[in-house]
């Protein structure tokens, strides 16, 4: 409020973070209204005509020129009292990859489940004695990265949003059927083409999964998912472990008796033996196939699904790499490439296991060992 001549005027101080465009009407930095104010009044309002992007305007002009106001909560209860409290924040970075993890919104049930999934564990309820509902407050913020930077190359902001589901004790990547038969516990109000979408929620303490997505499938991009809560929370990507349960056959026992030799003939022999291992498991595990010694495409797919679900666990980052390495332009992987991928994965796991003497998941290689390992893998 400023004393202007014989009246009081309500003023609003604004700042354009880009520093290039300012208000040019009444009460702008060079307007005559400031010259009519006493020096003491200008000092009280701390008016300066030097800072770029910083300007004043009357409240009436503000209402006429702005249609939306968003309030940033610096702490969980900034607008309620003066007590200083801090957010607990967890941060996850991810990517939507076409043909792998860019599944689009719930309107696309065939691909929605392939989106990145993040486990959210709300550990405690809020400290509010007057609130009869046992709940935990938190804010979810989904930001798409690098789209503004790549605008000069034709990139546009995607239409983004997120949904939250109760996990019900599940710890693996939720499948298509889960989303067909379970409704979301919470979700953003709307999908919108903004740099960041955020919203505040209140849910009972427990385990949930957050699904960030673009509105349409097959939109590739990077994102940042943040969860702010008043109490402690755990937020992490589901199935972030990398491990393999490699069966020990008579052939692999013989291989373990000999040191790994990194020469082209030896590497070729290893691949042939590993492929034979797959063939042996297929023939031993499927009695029906042995009757007519034939296998259909669906039978072979079922065999691989059962076999691999027990043996390999990869994270999303590796799935992205496999998709980019082995998929064609239509994001399909043909049978030959699929077999090559399996054989290479098993070979890499076995090679790592040979170097991991203490089993801690960390190995140390010399330059020569690294070059020998990668040259013929």
- In DSSP terms, which residues pair with 199 in a beta bridge? 140
With a CB cutoff of 8 Å and minimum separation 6, the contacts of 309 are none
With a CB cutoff of 8 Å and minimum separation 6, the contacts of 141 are 196, 197, 198, 225, 226, 227, 228
Strand order in the sheet with 196-203: 88-96, 221-229, 136-145, 196-203
The alpha carbon of 292 is separated from its chain's Cα centroid by a whole number of angstroms, namely 47
For residue 290, report the phi and psi dihedrals to the nearest 5 degrees: -70, -20
Distances (CA, A) of 46 to 13, 22, 34, 49, 285: 10, 18, 12, 10, 81
298 annotated active-site = no
Ramachandran sector of residue 5 (left: φ over 0; alpha: ψ -120 to 50; beta: rest):
left
| Residue in 16, 49, 73, 182 annotated catalytic | 16
Give me the DSSP letters along 318-375. Answer: HHHHHHHHH--TTS---HHHHHHHHHHHHHHHHHHHHH-TT-SS-----HHHHHHHHH
- In DSSP terms, which residues pair with 58 in a beta bridge? 11
Other residues' Cβ atoms within 10 Å of the Cβ of residue 306: 13
CB–CB of 315/237 below 8 Å?
Answer: yes
Catalytic residues: 16
């Amino acid at each position: 409020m400023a004393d202007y001549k014989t009246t009081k005027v309500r003023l609003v101080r604004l700042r354009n973070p880009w520093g290039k465009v300012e208000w040019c009407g009444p009460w702008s930095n060079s307007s005559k209204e400031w010259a009519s104010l006493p020096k003491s009044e200008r000092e009280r309002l701390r008016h300066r005509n030097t800072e770029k992007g910083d300007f004043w305007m009357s409240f009436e002009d503000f209402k006429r020129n702005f249609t939306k106001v968003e309030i940033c909560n610096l702490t969980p209860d900034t607008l309620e009292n003066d007590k200083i409290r801090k957010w607990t924040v967890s941060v996850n970075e991810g990517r939507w990859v076409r043909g792998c993890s860019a599944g689009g919104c719930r309107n696309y049930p065939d691909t929605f489940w392939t989106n990145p999934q993040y486990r959210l564990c709300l550990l405690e309820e809020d400290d509010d004695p007057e609130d009869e509902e046992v709940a935990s407050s938190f804010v979810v913020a989904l930001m798409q990265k690098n789209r503004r930077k790549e605008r000069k190359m034709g990139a546009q902001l995607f239409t983004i949003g997120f949904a939250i589901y109760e996990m019900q004790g599940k710890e693996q990547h939720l499948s298509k059927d889960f989303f067909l038969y379970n409704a979301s516990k919470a979700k953003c109000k709307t999908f919108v083409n903004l740099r960041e979408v955020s919203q505040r929620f209140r849910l009972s303490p427990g385990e949930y999964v957050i699904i960030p997505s673009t509105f349409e499938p097959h939109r590739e991009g990077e994102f940042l998912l943040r969860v702010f809560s008043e109490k402690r929370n755990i937020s992490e990507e589901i199935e972030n472990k990398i491990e393999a349960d490699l069966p020990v056959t008579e052939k692999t026992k013989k291989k373990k008796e000999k040191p790994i030799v990194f020469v082209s003939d030896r590497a070729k022999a290893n691949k042939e033996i590993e492929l034979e291992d797959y063939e042996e498991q297929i023939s031993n595990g499927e009695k029906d196939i042995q009757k007519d010694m034939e296998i259909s495409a669906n039978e072979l797919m079922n065999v691989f699904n059962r076999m691999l679900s027990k043996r390999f666990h990869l994270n999303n980052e590796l799935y992205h790499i496999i998709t980019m390495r082995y998929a064609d332009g239509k994001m399909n992987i043909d049978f030959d490439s699929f077999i090559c991928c399996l054989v290479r994965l098993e070979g890499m796991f076995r090679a790592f296991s040979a170097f991991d003497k203490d089993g801690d998941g960390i190995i140390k290689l010399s330059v020569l060992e690294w070059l020998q390992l990668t040259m013929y893998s």
